[in-house]
């Protein structure tokens, strides 16, 4: 069936054929033809955020939960530049994202027209690819290609810039011939390399499995658990892979790195074989790279061959989808028992117990985090912003599954938590969502409380409020002679009043005589709420490895 469609209507048709259900964004002059076309969409819902960065993070929340590319919209100029942080965040955390931006008409491009910027040049280093549509007909190939690139191999963001005249251009289109979304094809491992890897694991006396965010992206957590159990492999996780082995699993060593458990970092220091899967040897995980697993051979499995040797040269590199490689390796590896290595792990755990800092008190970070985990249940989606609260959650929250854990790892973006949680809540309308945040982080995108109030998602915001930029202040205390410049808020914000002004119920545990009862009541009530937990600005996240130091050179208290 051939019909006449504008470029904007064609974009809507292609998004619907790609089975996109939600797009987040803010309209502007260069994108108004697309917004007019959205009025005729049959299966496409638009979420109006209050800032384009918020739209990018809402789309990320949807993508991180679903595993499919999230979609965000922004107009030209400031709309596109406001998306940049969310795009960079998606690039570093390998999140599939399709960003559609408006652009001034082609006749005005290069004239410094109103709200004109060279969007493609700005995002060139933080996208997997970016395109500009020069005609409506080009959209038929470009938009499906954007989804293919975003979701194939190592996922990431793709931007499509669409001039206003292209959105208005009318062409004849055969609806039956419009392309549908192409399912990404995962990279299968080389089976000879898998055989060699299995032999290396079988011969090792102290092997250790080191899993990163690539395992989560590939939906490979169950395969990682199967391999760990088959090979009796103690397993350390990066921040991005928490929950890949459920909390309490005997092989789960928890998080490694700067704020990881001391026993975990020391086990890595003693291992003789490190099996790194979907991990990129980030400096926050490895500490000083030349002292990380110094006596170990390395098997590195990753979908992105550019990671091989970038930080640590592997003895064996396998380019493959993490899930497929883990499944193949579990099948190839005969069952093993390693009682001596297990005994050594037990000794390390006894000598360096995990932090239980003030867990028995009712208003401490650990106590509140564990209480929230119990109230929210194992299927809750959990987001954080970036800072001390993020590390406390990583240390204390008993994650049972990795696909419900959303945090900004590579870019470390304050302001991520609230809009990402809104995206997660939209993707999981039947499940609870929790956003742990700090006062400094919440202020970065606090306007999205208006979006939350409008949507009425079942989202609880747990605010650890110390009237400071806590992690900055901690590093100033430890490494910068306690020069607390620019890290304390001289006039703290009344967040409960702000939340109520936006239309969000709020409560303050600091003013409650029975804080845990009040907390339980807040979680029992449907819809959004903000829960403020006052903490001391002097409270620090421990243990900590100083930047540039070995992971076993630890500040413990």
Helix axis angle for 84-92 and 52-66, nearest 10°, is: 30
Q: What is the pTM of this model?
A: 0.96
**Which single residue is written with the structure tokens 């709200």?**
115
Q: What are the tens digits of pLDDT across the range 403-420?
A: 999 999 999 999 999 999
- Would you say 315 and 201 are in contact if contact means Cβ atoms under 8 Å apart? no
Active-site entry in 36, 106, 115, 270:
115
Q: What span, in angstroms and rounded, lies between the C-alpha atoms of 405 and 398? A: 11
pLDDT at 428 over 60: yes
The question of whether 169 is a catalytic residue gets the answer: no
Say what the pLDDT of residue 56 is: 98
Task: Encode 43-109 in three state secondary structure.
Answer: CCEEEECCCHHHHHHHHHHHHHHHCCCEEEEECCCHHHHHCHHHHHHHHHCCCCEEEEEEECCHHHC
The question of whether 52 is a catalytic residue gets the answer: yes
Say what the pLDDT of residue 356 is: 60
Q: What span, in angstroms and rounded, lies between the C-alpha atoms of 261 and 469? A: 24
Say what the pLDDT of residue 128 is: 98
**CATH of region 191-351:** 3.40.50.1220
Composition of the chain by helix, strand, coil, percent to 5? 45, 20, 40
Q: What span, in angstroms and rounded, lies between the C-alpha atoms of 544 and 555? A: 5
Q: What are the tens digits of pLDDT across the range 324-374?
A: 999 999 999 999 899 999 999 999 999 999 866 544 566 789 999 999 999
- Would you say 442 and 383 are in contact if contact means Cβ atoms under 8 Å apart? no
Say what the pLDDT of residue 363 is: 73
Active-site entry in 9, 52, 395, 400:
52
What fold does the segment set 2-177 form as a domain?
Rossmann fold (3.40.50)
What fold does the segment set 365-541 form as a domain?
Rossmann fold (3.40.50)
The question of whether 258 is a catalytic residue gets the answer: no
Q: What are the tens digits of pLDDT across the range 25-80?
A: 999 999 999 999 999 878 999 999 999 999 999 999 999 999 999 999 999 999 99
Listed by start position, the domains of the chain span 2-177, 191-351, 365-541
| Res. 179 pLDDT band, cuts 50 70 90 | confident
Kindly state the DSSP code that residue 176 receives in the 8-state scheme: G
The question of whether 164 is a catalytic residue gets the answer: yes
Active-site entry in 91, 471, 523, 540:
471
**Which single residue is written with the structure tokens 């000598």?**
351
The question of whether 460 is a catalytic residue gets the answer: no
Active-site entry in 91, 164, 217, 460:
164
| Res. 270 pLDDT band, cuts 50 70 90 | very high
């Amino acid at each position: 069936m051939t019909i006449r469609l504008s470029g904007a209507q064609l974009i809507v048709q292609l998004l619907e054929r790609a089975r996109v259900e939600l797009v987040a964004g803010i309209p502007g002059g260069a994108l108004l033809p697309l917004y007019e076309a959205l009025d005729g969409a049959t299966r496409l819902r638009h979420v109006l955020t209050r800032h384009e960065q918020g739209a990018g993070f809402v789309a990320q929340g949807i993508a991180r939960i679903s595993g499919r590319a999230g979609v965000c919209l922004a107009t030209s100029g400031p709309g596109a530049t406001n998306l940049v942080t969310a795009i960079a965040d998606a690039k570093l955390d390998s999140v599939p994202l399709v960003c559609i931006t408006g652009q001034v008409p082609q006749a005005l491009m290069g004239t410094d027209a109103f709200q004109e910027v060279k969007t493609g040049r700005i995002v060139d280093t933080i996208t997997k690819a970016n395109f500009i549509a020069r005609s409506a007909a080009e959209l038929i190939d470009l938009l499906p290609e954007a989804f293919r690139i975003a979701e194939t191999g190592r996922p990431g963001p793709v931007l499509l810039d669409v001039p206003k005249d292209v959105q208005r251009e009318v062409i004849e289109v055969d609806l039956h011939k419009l392309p549908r979304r192409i399912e990404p094809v995962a990279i299968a491992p080389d089976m000879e390399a898998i055989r060699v890897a299995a032999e290396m694991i079988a011969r090792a006396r102290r092997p250790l499995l080191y899993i990163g965010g690539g395992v989560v992206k590939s939906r490979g957590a169950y395969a990682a658990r199967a391999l760990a159990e088959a090979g009796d492999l103690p397993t350390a996780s990066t921040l991005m892979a928490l929950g890949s082995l459920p909390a309490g699993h005997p092989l789960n060593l928890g998080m490694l790195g700067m704020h990881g458990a001391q026993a975990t970092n020391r086990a890595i220091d003693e291992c003789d074989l490190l099996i790194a899967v979907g991990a990129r040897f980030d400096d926050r995980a490895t500490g000083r790279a030349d002292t990380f697993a110094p006596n170990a051979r390395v098997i590195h499995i990753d979908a992105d061959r550019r990671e091989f040797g970038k930080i640590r040269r592997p003895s064996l590199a396998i380019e493959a989808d993490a899930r497929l490689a883990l499944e193949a390796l579990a099948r190839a590896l005969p069952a093993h028992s390693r009682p001596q290595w297990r005994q050594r792990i037990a000794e390390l755990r006894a000598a360096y117990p995990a932090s239980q800092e003030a867990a028995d008190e009712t208003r401490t970070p650990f106590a509140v985090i564990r209480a929230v985990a119990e109230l929210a249940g194992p299927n809750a989606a959990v987001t954080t912003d970036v800072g001390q609260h993020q590390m406390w959650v990583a240390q204390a929250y008993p994650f049972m599954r990795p696909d419900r854990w959303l945090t900004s790892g590579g870019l470390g973006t304050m302001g991520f938590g609230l809009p990402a949680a809104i995206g997660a809540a939209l993707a999981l309308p039947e499940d609870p969502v929790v956003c742990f945040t700090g006062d400094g982080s919440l202020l970065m995108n606090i306007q999205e409380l208006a979006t939350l109030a409008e949507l009425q998602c079942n989202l609880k915001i747990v605010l650890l409020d110390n009237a400071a930029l806590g992690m900055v202040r901690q590093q100033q205390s430890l490494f910068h002679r306690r020069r607390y410049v620019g890290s304390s808020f001289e006039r703290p914000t009344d967040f409960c009043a702000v939340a109520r002004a936006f239309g969000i119920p709020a409560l303050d545990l600091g003013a409650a005589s029975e804080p845990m009862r009040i907390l339980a009541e807040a979680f029992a009530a449907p819809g959004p709420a903000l829960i403020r937990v006052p903490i001391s600005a002097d409270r620090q996240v421990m243990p900590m490895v100083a930047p540039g130091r070995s992971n076993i050179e630890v500040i413990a208290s």
